[in-house]
Amino acid sequence: MKLKLRTRLVVAFIIITVVPLTMIFAVVTGLGSYQMRAFRKAYNLTEHVDLLSGNSLQIFNRLTRETQKEISRILQSDPDKFNDQDFLQNLNENLASKYSYMIVRKGNTLIYDGNSYITQGIYQQLPKYEEIDSTLDGAIYLDGETQHLVKQMDFLYSDKETGSVFIVSNVDGLLPEIKVMMAEMLFAAIMIILFTDAILMMWVYRSVVSPLGRLQVATKKIKDGNLDFNLEIENDDEIGQLCQDFEEMRIRLKESAEEKVQYDKENKELISNISHDLKTPITAIKGYVEGIMDGVASSPEKLNRYIRTIYNKANDMDKLIDELTFYSKIDTNKIPYTFSKINVSNYFGDCIDEVGLEMEARSIELGYFNYVDEDMIIIADAEQMRRVINNIISNSVKYMDKKSGIINIRIKDVGDFIQVEIEDNGKGIPAKDLPSIFDRFYRTDSSRNSSQGGSGIGLSIVKKIIEDHGGRIWATSKEGIGTEIHFVLRKYQEVMQE
């Protein structure tokens, strides 16, 4: 059963207070009952004796009651036996087993003292003959330096001399049986307290100290930079929730660390790609400039071709640097958008006109098919959407492997959205690579080894822009046949005011 920490504290309070008290009460009651039965059996008592009452007078009174009755019978039948020292010694030994002794007085003379240590003070306090009614079943209480219970039995010897028999019990201390019983009860109480405390300590250790120890170990591991471990969570209490939160924190830290490693790896890859892609046009530019300087471009036509090539290479470098600058804005979510109403037909028609000349120069056939109404409007950033079209087309051109390249652009009406499809007849993308082409720095295995280069962030930029416009982008492809990029943008709809 899962207990909250507050409930555990309540249970701990019960364990440390109510449970020991209940168990001690039960043990004391049981031991007291057992000792009383044993006490009555040992001394042949028929009456109930409460050893825990603390009433020593009652206990000693009942211990000597049978002996008192026996002495009374002998006094009635043969009083002269109380002149016989051997007889008196036997009676006294019987009383000694009951923690009492006997005194016999004849007239004013002490003829037997069952306890040689009796003080003169106690003897002087003994009642005179027939000073009290000895036929009553009772005793007198002497309170001097020590406390004594005295039973007096008066009689007449055969020579008519008065006599008195006294049964004296020292009631200052406790009976040995009571001392043993109290020692047993004290031992039992201590064992109960130790037992319940041990159980409580084990329970607290397992439910509180143990998880805190594991949490401390986990904290040290994180401090040492080790995030590859699992923090075991056993309970669903507050400490368990703390461990759960700590484990979630560890997982996030690990994910952040892995993301940082991946980010660093991607940055290194980006620098490597950019360095490679910048080196290629720079090398070409240097070569053509050296050719001009050395007079290789001797004719105006050749010079014009050299200059145009230098211009195109510089243009490629400009695009690459622009792509890198835009990538840094993506990373900090600081892309400057300027949204406005855009007429779909006019806007995409202008885009096709811009890229048409370049496609013609590259001997790539460009097809444009517009299936939306002439007044169709969307809300978009014209500059960033132009970047989307250019990046997709540039990617298609980069990996075009056919002599007669074809790129078709179709604009369709799909309910609340317009759908743009850009299709090429290039080499296509393997099925295993298709889900990852919009990831940063991702390039297919063939493109990694391709001389085309590329930073690997062109399509990730496209995806970011489309998603920031509230749209969605995806791709379909067949190897050897070509690739088709699809994206949708929501139409602009006027809100009618009533």
Band of residue 484 on the pLDDT scale cut at 50, 70, 90 = very high
Q: In this structure, are 154 and 232 located in the same domain?
A: no
Q: In this structure, are 104 and 202 located in the same domain?
A: no
- pLDDT of 381 > 50? The answer is yes
Classify residue 48: in a domain, yes or no: no
Any idea which residue has 């401390």 for tokens?
216
Classify residue 221: in a domain, yes or no: no
Q: In this structure, are 415 and 322 located in the same domain?
A: no
> Beta-carbon neighbour count of residue 481 at 10 Å?
12
Q: In this structure, are 275 and 404 located in the same domain?
A: no
Q: In this structure, are residues 48 and 62 in contact, taking their beta carbons and an 8 Å threshold?
A: no
- pLDDT of 167 > 70? The answer is yes
- pLDDT of 498 > 60? The answer is no
Classify residue 326: in a domain, yes or no: yes
Q: How far apart are CA 423 and CA 426, in angstroms?
A: 9
Which residues neighbour 343 within 8 Å (Cβ) at sequence distance 6 or greater? Answer: 374, 375, 376, 377
What mean pLDDT do residues 232-240 have? Answer: 69
Task: Count Cβ neighbours within 10 Å for each residue of 469-478 and write b for 16 or more, e otherwise.
Answer: bebebebebe
Q: In this structure, are 301 and 268 located in the same domain?
A: yes
Q: How many domains does the chain have?
A: 4
Q: In this structure, are residues 167 and 100 in contact, taking their beta carbons and an 8 Å threshold?
A: yes
Q: In this structure, are 248 and 355 located in the same domain?
A: no
Q: In this structure, are 344 and 486 located in the same domain?
A: yes
- pLDDT of 398 > 60? The answer is yes
Containing 165, the helix (H) or strand (E) segment is: strand 162-170
Domain that includes residue 258, residue range: 228-334
pLDDT at 423 (0 to 100): 95
Q: In this structure, are residues 176 and 95 in contact, taking their beta carbons and an 8 Å threshold?
A: no
Q: In this structure, are 27 and 88 located in the same domain?
A: no
pTM of the model: 0.48
Classify residue 222: in a domain, yes or no: no
**Of 304, 334, 364, the domain-final residue:** 334
Classify residue 374: in a domain, yes or no: yes
Band of residue 57 on the pLDDT scale cut at 50, 70, 90 = low
Q: In this structure, are 106 and 235 located in the same domain?
A: no
Q: How far apart are CA 428 and CA 257, in angstroms?
A: 35
Tokens of 440: 């940063």
pLDDT at 447 (0 to 100): 47
Average pLDDT, the chain: 81
**Of 293, 311, 334, the domain-final residue:** 334
Classify residue 325: in a domain, yes or no: yes
**Lowest mean pLDDT: which of 63-67, 82-86, 108-112, 442-446?**
442-446
Q: In this structure, are 330 and 391 located in the same domain?
A: no
Of the chain, the percentage scoring pLDDT greater than 70 comes to: 83
Tokens of 374: 């002439």
Q: Please give the residue that has the higher pLDDT: either 446 or 197.
A: 197
- Domain containing 246 — which CATH number? 1.10.287.130
- Domain containing 164 — which CATH number? 3.30.450
**Of 334, 360, 393, the domain-final residue:** 334
User: Using one digit for the tens of pLDDT, what is the confidence trace for 331-350?
Assistant: 666 777 899 999 999 999 99
Classify residue 431: in a domain, yes or no: yes
What mean pLDDT do residues 162-181 have? Answer: 79
Classify residue 51: in a domain, yes or no: no
Long-range contacts from 94-98, C-beta under 8 angstroms, 24+ separation: 94/67, 95/64, 95/67, 95/167, 98/43, 98/63, 98/64, 98/67, 98/169
Among the listed residues 378, 366, 467, the one whose alpha carbon sits nearest the alpha carbon of residue 414: 378
Q: In this structure, are 90 and 200 located in the same domain?
A: no
What mean pLDDT do residues 76-103 have? Answer: 88
Q: In this structure, are 186 and 38 located in the same domain?
A: yes
